Amino acid sequence: MKSRGLGPLRETLGLALGTLATHKARSFLTALGVTIGTSCVVLVGALMTGLDESILNELKTFGTDTLFIYKFEPGIRKGKLSQEERMRKDLSYDDYVAIKEGSPACRQVLLNLVNSRFSNARYGKEEYVNAQVEGSQANYPETMSMVVGQGRFFTATEDLHREAVCVIGSDVAKSLFPHASAVGKTITAEGHSFLVIGVFEKRRTIESFGDRSMDGHVIIPYMTYRKVHPLAKEHFIVAQAYKGMLGAAMEQIRGALRKSRKVKHGDPDSFGMTTATSIIREFRNITRAVTVVIVILSALGLLVGGVGVMNIMLVSVTERTREIGTRMAIGARRRDILLQFLLEAGTLTGVGGLCGIGLGTLASSTIHWLVPKIPTIVPLWAVILGFSFSVGIGLIFGIWPAMRAARMNPVEALRFE
């Protein structure tokens, strides 16, 4: 039974493939729109998945027990700052002390001071553009999950005595010292000289963010930063809770900051606090929304390709009217004719989809090769979605031409000139 059922289907598929092979140029031009649409779906999926994976790896390094405290609520803002937000005080050293003394559930508390503007780091004729110079403390490597690969990190004593030392990211070291060790050299950043005492190992970071990655940082002691930038006030605080005590740490930090910042009972917090997990969740919501929008736009391109398929198939039905009449005269049923033209349309767009998958994969690899900072990973869902869309477009837009062919009167079809 199975063999008798598969025989006609195999024969019909063979006829469909034979017709497509006979009209190679027409088939290629018809499938071109589908190929472009499918390649866009695959390319978008590769870019968004690569970015998502890169950021996920970055944030995972902080661990699920890490808290980030800022002046404003972290995340994507909706609308303008409120009056209360505009009146907020910057986070301060006193806030850091309050958290450290009032949060026993935290095993690490780190105070950071940054400049919103980037600076160029220089050594001789070499220059690293847009370095992030940051003042921090001796527990920076442990709290921020950074590893010093060469040299060492500065001590609490060097911080207290405002020593002009720094530890630089791997990208900074590679740019300024391509053929020598950076340790022991003096670099210039923000108009001041700092002795390099250590170099961080390269971090699996958000490569697509370029120079904003942590491999492009220049870390100097907190007190040294206060010395060279006495008016700087852009603090942010990082805290690590003991395992299983994240909730308690958040409540203790909230209480300590409300007291330190003199927030009245019933008033909203005058600071923002989030976790690495929350940042991952919010970012993924954004990337998914962007991916859906772009995939829908790409699908519209596939629909345009589908209209082209329908037009070409209608022309094909007209050209092959006598062939259809002949097939019916020798015993082909209407459903056989319908199936033949549907298979032709589905095969045509399916081949276009496969070409689009290959083209999208090649494009994503080429982009990453040309710009290594842009991560690309072709996800299985993009391949399946692109191929399914392409075949589905052929079947949907091939229905009308196939039905038109199947409804022909055999006698009239044989008389057609």
Q: Are residues 39 and 149 in the same domain?
A: no
Q: Are residues 314 and 393 in the same domain?
A: yes
For residues 271 and 70, is the Cβ–Cβ distance under 8 A?
yes
What range does the domain containing 382 cover? Answer: 10-58+282-415
Of these ranges, 38-47, 54-63, 192-201, 364-373, the one predicted with the greatest mean pLDDT is 192-201
Give the whole-number percent of the chain exceeding pLDDT 90. Answer: 33
Same domain, yes or no, for 366 and 291? yes
Handedness of CA 280, 285, 289, 292 (dihedral sign): positive
In-domain check, residue 251: no
What does pLDDT average to over the chain? 83
Say yes or no to pLDDT of 371 above 60: yes
Please indicate whether residue 395 or residue 210 has the higher confidence score (pLDDT). Answer: 395
Return the number of other C-beta atoms located less than 10 Å from residue 373's C-beta: 14
Q: Is 92 a member of any domain?
A: no
Residue after which a domain boundary falls, among 209, 231, 253: 231
pLDDT single digits (tens) 279-309? 777 777 877 888 788 778 777 777 777 887 8
Q: How many domains does the chain have?
A: 2
Residues 6 or more apart from 251 whose CB is under 8 A from it?
Answer: none
- What pLDDT score does 153 carry? 97
Instruction: Compute the distance between CA of residue 122 and CA of residue 185 in angstroms, rounded to an integer.
Output: 11
| Residue 403 shares a structural domain with residue 297 | yes
Residue 2 lies in a domain: no
Q: Give the side-chain half-sphere CA count within 13 A for 26.
A: 15
CA distance 320 to 316: 6
For strands 165-168 and 192-200, give the pairing: parallel
In a domain, 46, yes or no: yes
pLDDT digits (tens, 9 = 90+) for 340-359: 888 888 888 888 889 999 99
Evaluate whether residue 111 is within a structural domain: no
Query: Which one of 48-57, 87-96, 336-345, 397-406 scores highest in mean pLDDT?
Result: 87-96
- Contact present, 344 and 313 (Cβ < 8 Å): yes
- pLDDT grade, residue 1 (50/70/90)? very low
Same domain, 146 and 214: yes
- Which of helix, strand or coil describes residue 241? strand
Check if the beta carbon of residue 358 is closer than 8 Å to that of residue 400. Answer: no
The last residue of a domain, from among 231, 257, 290? 231
Q: Is 174 inside any structural domain?
A: yes
DSSP label of 248: H
291 with 226, same domain: the answer is no
Task: State how far Cα 188 lies from the chain centre.
Answer: 34
pLDDT band at 207 (very low <50, low <70, confident <90, very high): very low
Angle at which helices 93-102 and 246-260 pack, to 10 degrees?
A: 130
pLDDT score of 211:
40
Structure confidence at residue 185 (pLDDT): 95
Q: Indicate whether 286 and 354 sit together in one domain.
A: yes
User: Quick one: 135 and 21 in the same domain?
Assistant: no
Q: 227 — phi, psi (to 5°)?
A: -70, -45
Of the listed ranges 41-55, 117-131, 163-177, the least confidently predicted one is 41-55
Quick check: pTM over 0.85? no
246 found inside a domain? no
In 3-state terms, the chain is what percent helix, strand and coil (to 5)? 60, 15, 25
Q: Is residue 306 part of a domain?
A: yes
Helix (H, G, I), strand (E, B) or coil at 274: strand
Segment 369-373 shows an average pLDDT of: 80
Residue 127 and residue 52 in one domain: no
Domain ends where: 231, 264, 292? 231
Lowest-pLDDT range of 16-20, 320-324, 381-385, 411-415 = 16-20
Q: Same domain, yes or no, for 129 and 48?
A: no
Statement: residue 111 has pLDDT above 90: yes
Same domain, residue pair 14 and 134: no
Q: pLDDT digit string (tens) for 210-223? A: 444 688 899 999 99
> In this structure, are 120 and 43 located in the same domain?
no
